[in-house]
Amino acid sequence: MDAWRGIDEFVAVAAAGTFAAAARKFGASTTHMSRSVALLENRLQVQLFHRTTRMVRLTDTGRMFYEQCQRLLHDRDEAIAQIGERGEPQGELRVTCSVAMGERFIAPILRRYIEEYPKVSVTLDLTNQVVDIIAEGYDLAIRSGKLPDSSLVSTRIAMRSLYTCAAPAYLARAGTLHSINDLAHHECVVGTSSTWQFVVGQQNELFRPKGRWRCNSGITVIDAALAGMGICQVPGFYALPHLANGSLVALLEPFRANDEQIWAVYPEQRHQLPKLSMLVDRLRHELPAMLTGSHPPVA
């Protein structure tokens, strides 16, 4: 297997940034790591690293090779794990999710999951950007709304509602609403979405809100609405507690958009791995109750 020799060491050094740090993590000597990478460079006839006395930095060729090697090693480890798991979840899971959904709901589910299955480790990356999960080596992405056509497997795990709402004090000052068009005459508190969704009859209708307060944090948007700064449209998990205690009032309910689907998205070749399939089942079991504010059911 000479073709594989040095690749594990190369990936470890690229990830760690120094030969010494990579050696500690790899469980080998610094000399072994340096020699293995040098032999790999000699065999490939390319320079993979720029070296200084304090650190190493990937060359352009090394960066491209590193990305390819990461995928190769991940797929190799997945193939070995699929044989070895025998129904018990084990191995690393890399998950990506939006910040708000991840912090409030996905992270607690993942924590409970790895507490139950100690052979599983999780890396959760929270970002509001839609990442290429195959190119970047993720096992699972949590996404909402309409998905583009792709070769990825999509499993619906929950639904969420969008609520248009405002504080009673704001409505007392600015007046109430009777139609979507009335929004144009009101102060809007805007979050990550540049359009608000409604349904009129059987047709979807979009409204582009305008206002003096914009923020990509749902918590900050809801706080601004509670402070009487204007009308917002947010997922139910932000709004429902405040609607229940009267600190916010639901608006334009006859035109509320259809519930939005939440998906677990993952590469087709990994869906049979117990660590992934059992996590998707858990998400489908626990997430709906969490989104509506009730306690997750006990497994």
Measured over the CA atoms of residue 59, residue 62, residue 66 and residue 68, the dihedral's sign is positive
User: What pLDDT is recorded for position 180?
Assistant: 96
User: What pLDDT is recorded for position 296?
Assistant: 39
Please report which confidence band the pLDDT of residue 257 belongs to, taking 50, 70 and 90 as the band edges: very high
Backbone φ and ψ for 189, nearest 5 degrees, come out as -105, 115
Q: Is the pLDDT of residue 271 over 50?
A: yes
User: What pLDDT is recorded for position 298?
Assistant: 36
Q: Is the pLDDT of residue 141 over 90?
A: yes
Domains of the chain: 2-65 (1.10.10.10), 86-157+260-291 (3.40.190.10), 162-255 (3.40.190.290)
User: What pLDDT is recorded for position 81?
Assistant: 63
Quote the CA–CA distance of 155 and 132 in Å, as a whole number: 17
Please report which confidence band the pLDDT of residue 73 belongs to, taking 50, 70 and 90 as the band edges: confident
Token look-up 């809100």 returns: 209
SS3 for 214?
strand
SS3 for 120?
strand
Instruction: Give the pLDDT confidence of 191-222 residue by residue, as tens digits.
Output: 988 899 999 988 999 999 999 999 988 899 99
User: What pLDDT is recorded for position 147?
Assistant: 84
145's tokens: 């709304």
**Who has greater pLDDT, 269 or 121?**
121
Instruction: Give the pLDDT confidence of 75-95 residue by residue, as tens digits.
Output: 776 666 666 556 688 888 999
User: What pLDDT is recorded for position 229?
Assistant: 97
Q: Is the pLDDT of residue 42 over 50?
A: yes
Q: Is the pLDDT of residue 226 over 70?
A: yes
Q: Is the pLDDT of residue 190 over 60?
A: yes
Among 53-62, 86-95, 157-166, 239-248, whose mean pLDDT is lowest?
86-95
Give 22's contacts (C-beta < 8 A, 6+ positions apart): 9, 12, 13, 15, 16, 33
User: What pLDDT is recorded for position 238?
Assistant: 92
What's the whole-number average pLDDT of the chain? Answer: 88
